[in-house]
């Protein structure tokens, strides 16, 4: 079972490491002791909302993005299926119809695989292009 403080710590650490910043740099900018920031990142201490806001500001990462990341981690740990976006979240515009490519040996091999695992020929998978404001930090497996 993943604890909330551990998921928050993982998210903060990944954000810091992605920026190639040290604990000392972030702790100085957030005005929190280096030791306490380390404890928060390791999931040993519960950070207050004020402290989380200060750390996020020091990392130049919106708190909402960290919380989104944490909810993704927690949902994955619980085995929950991805949820539908809330009514307040922006909805992506429908994508333009793709132009069919010329059939090839690769397409034929893919059709064989699809048939074996039970994917109908008319099934479409649409992956929306990411938008900068919707990027989420997700822990790799």
Residues 141/135, Cβ–Cβ less than 8 Å: no
Residues 6+ apart with CB under 8 A from 50: none
Sign of CA dihedral 15, 59, 84, 96: negative
pTM recorded for the entire structure: 0.56
Please state, as a whole number, how many other Cβ atoms lie within 10 Å of the Cβ of residue 90: 9
Question: Which of 24, 106, 26 has its CA nearest to residue 61?
Answer: 26
Question: How does pLDDT run along the chain (141 residues), one tens digit per residue?
Answer: 789 999 999 999 999 999 999 999 999 999 999 999 999 999 999 999 999 999 999 999 999 999 999 988 888 766 665 454 443 444 454 555 555 555 555 666 666 666 666 666 766 666 665 555 555 555 555
**pLDDT given at position 1:** 77
- The Cα 141–Cα 22 span in angstroms is 24
Contact 76, 36 (CB under 8 A): no
């Amino acid at each position: 079972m993943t604890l909330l403080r551990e998921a928050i710590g993982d998210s903060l650490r990944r954000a810091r490491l992605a920026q190639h910043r040290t604990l000392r740099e972030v702790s100085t900018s957030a005005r929190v002791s280096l030791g306490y920031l380390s404890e928060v990142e390791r999931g040993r201490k519960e950070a207050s909302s004020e402290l989380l806001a200060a750390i996020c500001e020091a990392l130049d990462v919106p708190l909402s993005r960290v919380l989104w990341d944490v909810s993704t981690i927690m949902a994955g740990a619980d085995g929950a299926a991805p949820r539908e976006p809330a009514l307040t979240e922006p909805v992506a515009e429908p994508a333009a119809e793709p132009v069919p490519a010329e059939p090839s040996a690769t397409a034929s091999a893919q059709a064989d695989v699809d048939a074996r695992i039970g994917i109908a020929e008319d099934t479409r998978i649409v992956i929306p292009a990411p938008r900068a404001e919707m990027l989420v930090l997700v822990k790799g497996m």
